[in-house]
Chains A and B, each alone.
Chain A
Amino acid sequence: MTAIPASGERVRTRLPGRKPLVILGERALEILIRLSGFSAIFFVLAIFFFVFREAAPVLFDAEFDAKEFLFSTEWYPTSERNVRYGTWALTFGSVAVTALAMVIAVPFGLGAAIYISEFSGKKQKEILKIVIELLAAIPSVVWGFIGLTVMSKLIVDLTGAPVGVNLLNGGIILALMSIPIIVSIGEDALKAVPDSFREAAEALGATKLQMIRRVLLPAARNGLLAAVLLGVGRAVGETMAVLMATGHAVRIPHGPLDSVRTLTANIAAELGEAAAGSPHYRVLFLTGVLLFVITFVVNLTADMAIRGLRRK
């Protein structure tokens, strides 16, 4: 109790030395900063409101069939005879590409995080971190270009697939794009494990691998899960690279060498032509809502995982 008035006194004694303009300036800055803090909430709500408002007319339309929208594979938005809006193949494409990307990215990402956190020397650690951050800075259109030119040729040569732009290509590109996120957040999670855990394990005679497997990974579990989920969020929302690398075919793939189309790529490819206010335009916004829901769930899960980590 006594500490508070004391500090208040200290502030009051310093105040006369300040000019009114300075006080005003600090106030203004504080308000400005508070506003920018709140603006994030405002923008998220505004974006959701806008996307939902554009989609709402079709959602509440009597003819709209939610089951067809979610579970039909027939996507014929511009058909002359029978317009059908089924997004299942697109959702499946998004999920399949993301899943494949994670199968590749998680072992590499977590492996790299463990290496950087536990094995590398101080200098090596710095270099690795900088290079991985550089990897995260490569624009997605460049990744897409690599997929379209380099990777597609490699895939055709190595697997004998007829077309190089396919699920596998998109998965590899997305994996490369999400690895930096998984590494940097995973490394933070491992760093957050107190050194006393490591010392205790080593004092008990555990080898380094035993220590990592039995002590470190369980202790950092939530943070590592968050790292993976943020990687998933990155992969689900990615547009340009998958648009270029997946071959853009509406179909349920039968294997990794089939071409697919994702929700994001579909919106990017079709929104430009859809006349504003037309059913096609509204349905594209509805797929935007669907995407929003998917990423929201992924991010929320990641957030809860991080929260769980903090509580520990």
Chain B
Amino acid sequence: MKASAPSSRSLYPLVCVLALSVAVLFGCGGGEKASSPGTAAEPTTIQVKGSDTMVNVAQAWAEEYKKVDPTADVEVSGGGSGVGIAALEKGTIDIANASREMKPAEIDQTTKNTGKTPKDFIVGYDALAVYVHKDNPLTEISLEDLSKIYIEGSPVTKWSEIGVTIPGVTDDTIVRVSRQSSSGTYEFFREHVLDKHDFKLGSRDMNGSKEVVELVGTTKTAIGYSGMGYVTGEVKMLKVATKKGEPAVAPTVENTLTKAYPLARSLHFYTLGEPEGAVKKYVEWVLSPAGQAVLQDNGYVPVVRDAAPEAAATDAAPAATDTASK
């Protein structure tokens, strides 16, 4: 008896270790099984990733779609258009949100990796608004001045150099607020304002559309760019003129649709090849009047005007095929 007591005690750790390693092994196995996309599992998961500009509306769509189709789980994450497109290239997601168009190289890479050509759906429009603090007397800006503020090699660093006096500020150095380079907004701005030239280094590169507006709202000498849906009471959206002397246009729904606003852009869904099953149904719903109403509620411009539902549905389809054929 005396010998058996210590022996069972010394066995105890061994048993523990064995049990633990067995548990770990099984845990791993289970995890792998769960993470592999269920082909015919009952609740289908649609993975959506990309644009920070679209992340709010994508979330709203996901929540609303849950009511329409309770069996579908739409998982949304942000990170920037570039992050979504990079994930699509690897084939790890179903839909990439992008606030810019995919580049030919990215399309080639996706086709090479996954064997499927990405398909483009325009799901809405957005005006890239230029924000300043609400106390800034500036009300409009030309693309030329905007470029002078942001472009690499430009000597402009102070508001006074472009003729703006900000009340109650001693140091009127322009605080440039920009986006991280994975952002579609960043690339859109570079292409359409800087004519593909580079940004001047030293801007505060925020990780989200909302952060840009927040920083501009707390900084009197700041200027930033972000989607029109992110406007708050602390900031002011500037009217933008294509050239100096031309009339400046405000970023409104009307001006975005007519393309009178120079920084209007389309918001995209990219799918791997022709969407099928749950993804197809989801994309169709997003383009339907119900989906477009959610988009409009979030401050974006729908692909179709909120006309009669029948007309809207028929209008939405050509818009999608039109861009896909590009």
Interface residues of A (CB under 8 A from B): 17-19, 21-22, 25-26, 28-29, 32, 73-82, 89, 156, 162-165, 243, 247-251, 259, 261, 269-270, 272-276
Choose among A80, A89, A261 the residue that contacts B196 (Cβ–Cβ < 8 A).
A80
Q: Chain B nearest CB: distance from A241 CB in Å?
A: 14
Residues from chain B with Cβ under 8 Å of A82 in the complex: 198
Interface residues as binary, B157-186 with A (CB distance below 8 Å gives 1, 0 otherwise): 000000000000001010100001110000
A272-B83, A273-B83 are contacts. A251–B202 as well, Cβ < 8 Å?
yes
Q: Is the CB of B14 within 8 A of A247?
A: no
Residues from chain A with Cβ under 8 Å of B182 in the complex: 269-270, 272-273
A46 to B11, CA, bound (A): 34
For the complex, would chain A's binding face be called helix, strand, loop or mixed by DSSP majority?
loop
Choose among A18, A156, A248 the residue that contacts B180 (Cβ–Cβ < 8 A).
A248
Residues from chain B with Cβ under 8 Å of A18 in the complex: 3, 7
Q: Chain B nearest CB: distance from A70 CB in Å?
A: 17
Q: Chain A nearest CB: distance from B180 CB in Å?
A: 5
Q: Is B109 an interface residue (CB 8 A)?
A: yes
Residues from chain A with Cβ under 8 Å of B80 in the complex: 272-273
A77 to B196, CA, bound (A): 14
Q: Is the CB of B201 within 8 A of A74?
A: yes
A209 to B220, CA, bound (A): 50
Q: Chain A nearest CB: distance from B271 CB in Å?
A: 19
Q: Chain A nearest CB: distance from B132 CB in Å?
A: 13
Q: Is the CB of B181 within 8 A of A273?
A: yes
Residues from chain B with Cβ under 8 Å of A274 in the complex: 86
A272 to B81, CA, bound (A): 11
Residues from chain A with Cβ under 8 Å of B3 in the complex: 17-18
Q: Is B273 an interface residue (CB 8 A)?
A: no
Q: Is the CB of A249 within 8 A of B203?
A: yes
A248-B206, A269-B180, A273-B181 are contacts. A162–B173 as well, Cβ < 8 Å?
yes
Residues from chain B with Cβ under 8 Å of A29 in the complex: 13-14, 17
- For B190, B205, B207, B221, the residue with the greatest tally of chain A CB atoms inside 10 Å of its CB is B205
Q: Chain A nearest CB: distance from B192 CB in Å?
A: 12
